[in-house]
Amino acid sequence: MNEELKKVVVVGGSGFIGTKLTEELLFRGYSVGIVDLVPPRTTHQHLTFLKADFAKDVPPANLFEGVYGVVNLAGATIGKRWSKEYKNLIYKSRIDTTKSIVSLISKTTVRPMVLVSASAVGYYGDRKEELLSESELPGTDFLANVCIDWEREAKKAELSGVRVCMVRTAHVLGPGGILATLEPIFKLGLGGYFGKGDQYMPWIHYKDVVGIYTFALEQQISGPINVSAGAPVTQKNMFTQFAHIIGAPFPFIFRIPKFFAWIALGDFAESLFVSQNTNSTRIKSLGYHYQCDDLTAALLNIYKKGQ
């Protein structure tokens, strides 16, 4: 390995976004170390892998020694039925992992320059039509509390002199995002929107998620950033366009009452009824240019071109 290459360690890097980010960083000439429970989906001469669970295992003390940056993507998926036990896993897989990362950073002699840590627009809770910039107060529901504690732990790395950026990601559109989970249901003609469908559902194309993580690594950005694209869109509007583009069998989609959603999804159903009208003015003002800022174009790019 060329020792002159800048190294980025991606914790939770074997997932969908981690894989795409790793490919981009390698293309840009970084070396990448992935820490995850499963091996990465790609191979490269400048890619290394460590099997570990930061929430449980004690990683090597020198893991972050002298690296350029650390990206924290670790966390159990939220896209499944929630029980009390699973909600605890969602919380601990994020907060305990972030605590371990920050602790390990504090023990390095040559510190990383930057920690870019995942968060989510769930930080804001259910806010109806309110326009949400990064300075708005958080919500009070389960996902909001997860995000509050997640960001609080990441920010502690600043005490070690490390720049910290928290990425409040919207619903990701792509082969591994939320719509990938819904696609087989919609193709059976069983897709629907939750409640009235008038809740705002911020979205972002996966290429822009990768672009913004890379941008946050390379530019002097700190604090939280909203990561959503395009004009505000309601859930009914998004799901209707989605059903049309993937060729769902019916020209309409169904309204799903909260009671039925709760039976199928447990407490996860609550997150599908919240409305978040996020504002991404800050990341644009810092110089990031979206690759895909139109919902229809984003859906066509993914589902008609196979991207």
CA nearest to 122, candidates 139, 98, 134:
139
* Average pLDDT across the chain, whole number: 92
Q: Are 234 and 200 in contact (CB under 8 A)?
A: yes
Compare 253 and 296 and report the one with higher pLDDT: 296
Report in angstroms the alpha-carbon separations of 43 from 3, 14, 39, 157. 18, 11, 10, 30
Question: CA separation (Å) from 36 to 41, 135, 289?
Answer: 11, 32, 30
Helix locations, the chain, DSSP H: 16-27, 84-106, 142-155, 178-187, 206-218, 235-245, 258-265, 281-285, 295-303
Instruction: Quote the pLDDT of residue 307.
Output: 46
First to last CA, the chain: 31
Contact 172, 193 (CB under 8 A): no
The crossing angle, in degrees rounded to 10, of helices 235-245 and 178-187 is 60
Pair type for strands 192-194 and 277-278? unpaired
- pLDDT tens digit sequence for 199-226: 999 999 999 999 999 999 999 999 999 9
pLDDT tens by residue, 27-73: 999 999 999 999 998 899 999 999 998 878 788 889 999 999 999 99
pTM for the whole thing?
A: 0.94
**What span, in angstroms and rounded, lies between the C-alpha atoms of 11 and 245?**
34
Q: Is the per-residue pLDDT at 251 higher than 90?
A: no
CA-to-CA separations, 48 to 8, 71, 212, 225, in angstroms, rounded: 11, 15, 23, 29
Domains along the chain? 7-172+202-229+278-291 (3.40.50.720)
Q: Are 285 and 233 in contact (CB under 8 A)?
A: no
pLDDT exceeds 80 at position 1 = no
